Amino acid sequence: MKARVPKNFGGGAPSNLQQLARQAQKMQEEMDSASTELEAKEYTAASGGEAVKVTVTGAMEVKSIDIKPEVVDPEDIEMLTDLVIAAVNEALRKAATEKEEVMTKISGGLNMPGLF
C-alpha cells in the first residue's frame, strides 16, 4: 500500500523558503538602516530643574554635559554628581527606548536574537 502525499505538498516549499529568506533579508536591511539613523540621533535630558543637561547619541555615547554655574557648590559635590548621573541615565533611557520601539515596529514584535 502506498502512502498518499497531499496535493501541492512540497511543491511550494522551496519558493516559500526563498520568499521567507528574502523577507528576513529585507527586515535585516531595514533594521540596519534604522540602527544607523538612530545611532546618529541625539537625545537630551535634564535634571535638577534644568540645572544639568546631558546630550547622548543613539550609539549610547555622551556628547555633552551642560551645568549651570549656580548649581556648582564646592561644598556639595555629591549633589552635582547625582544630578549628572540622573541626567545621563535619563538621556540613555530615551535613546534605548526609541531604538527598541523602532526595531519592534520593523520586526513586527518578533524576537530574533542577533538581529538587533
Query: Tens digits of per-residue pLDDT, 12-59?
Result: 556 788 888 888 888 889 889 999 999 999 999 999 999 999 999 999
Q: Please report the pLDDT score of residue 116 as a whole number.
A: 46
Q: Please report the pLDDT score of residue 112 as a whole number.
A: 56
Position with higher pLDDT, 114 vs 97: 97
Give the DSSP H/E element, type plus range, for residue 43: strand 42-47
Any idea which residue has 533579508 for its cell? 25
As a whole number of angstroms, the distance between CA 33 and CA 31 comes to: 5
pTM above 0.85, yes or no: no
For the cut 60, the answer to whether the pLDDT of residue 115 exceeds it is no
Which residue ranges form the domains of the chain, and what is each CATH number?
13-107 (3.30.1310.10)
Give the DSSP H/E element, type plus range, for residue 67: strand 62-67
Average pLDDT (73-84) is 92
For the cut 80, the answer to whether the pLDDT of residue 1 exceeds it is no
As a whole number of angstroms, the distance between CA 60 and CA 58 comes to: 5
SS3 of residue 3 by DSSP = coil
